[in-house]
Structure 1
Amino acid sequence: MSDESPVRALVVEDEFLLLALLEDLLPDLGVEVTARARSLEGALAAAKSPANFDVALVDVNLGGERSYEAVDELLAAGIPTLFITGYGSGSLPPRFAALPVLGKPFGRDDLARALAMLCGQRMATR
């Protein structure tokens, strides 16, 4: 990734309004949404073909199913991953303790801070 090109992201979110919010906020933060999934099945398919994105933002609960299997695939592929959850970071399995977490509800500044943790200072200056 060069500093001039936007970071490409996979966004996994089952709630339409939150997906729309993320798609609205991310470009202002230097992130281009290049892949989307609204279910665990879609997230798994995307995780197995990570060539279209550099990072992933993944909701924990996808229609009553946990996204952990997809996150395991993303991490195995070397994709930096951010959890999005209303449950808090304490509800995640210990194997995900080092991953950044964006708590719901969130605003633009919260998202910017989480992306900075995920991608480094490059995101914080946009």
Structure 2
Amino acid sequence: MVPSDPTTAGLSGERILVVEDDYYLATDTARAVRRAGGIVLGPCRNEAAARAALGTGTPTGAVLDINLGTGPSFDLARELRGRGVPVMFITGYDDAVIPEDFADAARLQKPVDLAEVVRTLGRIARGRSA
């Protein structure tokens, strides 16, 4: 269940980059962010599309699938962090694949609860611990 009240969800006005190669999860995540009052950059299927979306403005948070079909998205995550953008990961992998420099990053296991995605994005976009 996705929260429909933006004031409850806490993403009102937040710019969220969605990077996910699974069409259904990408569109569901983008829809959840919009319903929560957020502005979606993407959804993007790959790193190249994500970098193009970054040309439209800097997000206040990002949700990334770890494996975009061409390998892990950690370089993109590092680039985002370098710009001051907090990231969270959605993954089907266990914690062993997470590099040490992302040990503190928020992450959710697939299949995900979209309400939890929205809550986590709200926390990281506002700089609170996830």
Shift of 1:91: 2.0
Percent identity over the alignment is 32
User: Take 1:119 and 1:53, find their aligned partners in 2: how far apart are those partners?
Assistant: 9
Unaligned runs of 5+ in 2: 1-9
User: Take 1:52 and 1:121, find their aligned partners in 2: how far apart are those partners?
Assistant: 15
More strand by share: 1
User: Cα RMSD between the aligned structures?
Assistant: 2.6
User: Take 1:42 and 1:4, find their aligned partners in 2: how far apart are those partners?
Assistant: 23
Aligned pairs for 1:7-26 within 5 A: 7-26=14-33
* Greater relative contact order, per chain length (Cα 8 Å cut-off, separation 6+): 2
More helix by share: 1
Shift of 1:54: 1.7
Shift of 1:31: 1.8
SS at match of 2:93: coil
Equivalent residue letter for 1:119: A
Shift of 1:4: 9.1
Number of paired residues?
Answer: 119
Unaligned runs of 5+ in 1: none
Shift of 1:72: 0.8
User: Take 1:71 and 1:23, find their aligned partners in 2: how far apart are those partners?
Assistant: 18
